[in-house]
Amino acid sequence: MKKKATATTKEAAPVPATTTPAVRAYETYSDVLNITKEEIAKLNKDEHFKIVESIAGLITKAEKAGLSATSKDLKERMYYICETYLESSIVGGTKDLRRQDWENNHSRIQAAIYNYVVNNNSIPTATTLADNTGLSRQTIHEHLKEGVANEFYQERLQAWQSLTDNIFKILYRQAINGSVQASKVLLDNIQRSTQPAPVNNIRQQNNFIQINNTKIDEVTIEALPASARSAIEQIIKQNTIKATI
């Protein structure tokens, strides 16, 4: 009598352990700030991009909450990851990220100063600027204090200076056509441009006015639109007249 064949089941082969770190959700400040450089080095490129993307959102959150120190730490962590692991993958490199950050802060601060001066005929405090920009008081203080010494501000000045040749050509045409005002402006600028540069290092200049807790220097005033500068001038004139009466 033949025995029935019994079916045998093969055990599934064990899945080899992977060495790729598990995907983490970098949702809190501590998720990002507590990860060590050694742990970052073990992550793959996708994880590096994931951290950077998360940090960008956390920076905005920290700024709105007034956590300037946390925001600064987050930025430095983001710049470290980008410079060390993603430099070749970022258009313009990490320096461009720093430039974008500065330009964003600069535009928000300048717009807030302009709008406040025009609407209130007074200079905004750092607290007011913080409320109107979403930036922290410390970020605003640091930005205004650095002023024209900032390398990205210098880039803007160089861009404007590159346009002076065209302006000189226009002034020259107007001057030779009989415009006395154009002649004066042209000659004044030529004379100024041929004078030797001042000896004082601009980084060492500390000329500014302080209203409450806000420091405003000549660079800040010059960067404002003409209407805002005019409004500031009227405020000063009005108060000067009152003081002499």
Residue 153 has what pLDDT? 84
Beta-bridge partners for 214: 211
pLDDT score of 230: 74
Phi, psi (5° rounding) for residue 48?
-60, -45
Residue 209: helix, strand or coil by DSSP?
strand
What pTM was estimated for this model as a whole?
A: 0.51
Please report the pLDDT score of residue 17 as a whole number: 45
- For residues 30-42, average pLDDT: 89
In this structure, are residues 112 and 118 in contact, taking their beta carbons and an 8 Å threshold? no
The answer to whether the Cα torsion of 107, 110, 116, 119 is positive or negative is negative
Residues 144-157 pLDDT 10s: 888 778 888 888 88
pLDDT in tens, 141-196: 888 888 778 888 888 887 777 777 788 788 888 888 888 888 888 788 777 766 66
